[in-house]
Structure 1
């Protein structure tokens, strides 16, 4: 039984030479059904290519998984001038899909805790801990408590200033609107803070969202987190919970993130996408986007951009 895949190439600008390079690598592993077909996008270029994996007598799912791993490894070894993803066609053509994303440096351009820390004069200290946590060198919950402790004594009014400073990633609203236009749900789960995330989530019309709560007493940040920390296990658990509630199987889910705290979520989804991520995250994800356009996620998911 043959297995069908879609190769996606996306970059600020695609060239025929780059597309030929990608097709040549993939062609070593099976039938490439040319030609490349352009995909409408705004601010970047994208194209898709139908690919058929060779059939074998072994179970089709086993063959497809082995083939996909081999192709992805071969593409990673090439110094290609474009981003490339190879996705099972059944995933891109699923009738119902579910998208879940990280927030800081994914849905939005900034790390919120660093914006807050700037008001306390602790930006450098907090940034150093954030980077170590994102690289997986520190336990996320411990690192979060260390960083939040630096915020003790700040007036709650600082959060209003931080909300005003937050900027969505390029194409974020377009991505959410595209998924919603096709009847799919969109969720975010964040190691950041609900006091900043909630108005953003409401503005975008997100279906689900979750973040940590900063403890506030008498109009001042206490330097503590209220309740359980949203860590990597929580993120994966919320993906399972929300996808099940939406009636969408995990293999029709797309997860997007940039740090070690997102790894379990990326592994749980049908396709985990690393967005301008650390090398370790890119290596673990099924696809990577190394450009500022978050709406490239829609290209990988087979969701038309308006």
Structure 2
């Protein structure tokens, strides 16, 4: 038998029947209830009925954050069985961000340490169309921290180099190489030099047509505001270009932005990059330098990206976050955001 303890009901406003179906119980009572700190133990039998009993579960094991929509008790029971692999006592509580950003966010705290692999979590999450994040032991929103982010396809929902390629009528050619680089199939530095060479002759002022319509990822600006309120240091480490990264830094009020500089002569791109290229190793170096220069605890460092060239940086941080990333990146990350938006970072750090 699997026991779930819920802490999200206002008992004085509810008259609960002894037994209810999972969907009716969850939708009609739990989602509309307020958090009070009361504990209820939920027992699930073979007929998927539920017996409510008051009582503190006292669980203090691993915590997994569930992010999704249309959640009900049947889904949660299946998730718990899939994660724990055996009978367990689980305390379920609503996140402080529950439905704040149009997502149901719940915390499942198990009675013992549960350490499923990232591959296992991704498989279960895909089955139920949710995100499952193992809550980090130390990294916390409540203390100042460092967040270093990739830009293209992480902060913004495009690859800027592909869009410049469209101006030179070589977008399809460049996009193919971009995808190969993000999957780690070819070296990033070599791929960047090749793609930039294809841009020779594009007028620099035409890039403004791209910059003026940069599509920020859903929730990015709101998440940055919350992190700033909690005194987090925010930076971009991008294999993209200063023309866009510096603009994003200014719009979002980020502390720093590091990216590549396109060489320009006579108002046109030369097809070359000035200075050292910001590749995977450089991104990791930027993160470490910022952490030391800003005197931020190592366990308060987070790196976020979507491509293979972000993996070294993600490994250098205490928490590596894959954001709508390539499969190999998701499996290597500490947590992977697929269903959620940028605000999921807040759910994880809460």
Shift of 1:77: 4.2
Unaligned runs of 5+ in 2: 1-58
CA contact (8 A) 1:188 1:210 kept: yes
Shift of 1:75: 2.8
Which of the residues 47, 63, 75 maps onto 2:121? 75
Q: Whole-Å Cα distance in 2 between the matches of residues 269 and 196 of structure 1?
A: 25
CA contact (8 A) 2:236 2:256 kept: yes
Shift of 1:292: 5.9
TM-score by length of 2: 0.77
Residue of structure 1 equivalent to 2:188 = 140
Residue of structure 2 equivalent to 1:36 = 93
Shift of 1:19: 2.2
- Equivalent positions of 1:159-170 (< 5 A) are 159-170=207-218
CA offset digits 1:218-257 (Å, max 9, x no partner): 1110000011110000111111111122222232212111
What secondary structure sits across from 1:42 in the alignment?
coil
Unaligned runs of 5+ in 1: 55-66
Q: Whole-Å Cα distance in 1 between the matches of residues 179 and 84 of structure 2?
A: 39
Residue of structure 2 equivalent to 1:19 = 76
- Equivalent positions of 1:122-133 (< 5 A) are 122-133=170-181
CA offset digits 1:183-241 (Å, max 9, x no partner): 11111111100011112101111012101000001111000001111000011111111
What secondary structure sits across from 2:64 in the alignment?
strand
Q: Whole-Å Cα distance in 2 between the matches of residues 201 and 3 of structure 1?
A: 40
Larger radius of gyration: 2
Larger mean Cα displacement after TM superposition, 78-87 or 118-127: 78-87
- Equivalent positions of 1:223-238 (< 5 A) are 223-238=271-286
- Cα distance, 1:238–1:124 mapped onto 2, change above 3 Å: same
Residue of structure 2 equivalent to 1:49 = 108
Larger mean Cα displacement after TM superposition, 29-38 or 203-212: 29-38
Shift of 1:140: 0.2
CA contact (8 A) 1:145 1:225 kept: yes
CA offset digits 1:66-113 (Å, max 9, x no partner): x63x45454344333311011233323662222111100110111000
Point out the structure with the larger helix share: 1
CA contact (8 A) 1:5 1:88 kept: no
CA contact (8 A) 2:211 2:244 kept: yes
CA contact (8 A) 2:145 2:300 kept: yes
- Equivalent positions of 1:174-253 (< 5 A) are 174-253=222-301
CA contact (8 A) 2:67 2:106 kept: yes
What secondary structure sits across from 2:203 in the alignment?
coil
TM-score by length of 1: 0.87
Residue of structure 2 equivalent to 1:61 = none
CA contact (8 A) 1:100 1:256 kept: yes
Q: Which has the higher contact order (CA 8 A, sep 6+)?
A: 1
Residue of structure 2 equivalent to 1:258 = 306
Q: Whole-Å Cα distance in 2 between the matches of residues 207 and 31 of structure 1?
A: 44
Q: Whole-Å Cα distance in 1 between the matches of residues 340 and 60 of structure 2?
A: 32
Q: Does residue 171 of structure 1 match 2:219?
A: yes
Larger mean Cα displacement after TM superposition, 274-283 or 71-80: 71-80
Residue of structure 2 equivalent to 1:57 = none
Q: Whole-Å Cα distance in 1 between the matches of residues 131 and 338 of structure 2?
A: 7
Shift of 1:38: 3.6
Residue of structure 2 equivalent to 1:63 = none
What secondary structure sits across from 1:206 in the alignment?
coil
Shift of 1:150: 0.8
Aligned-CA RMSD value: 2.1
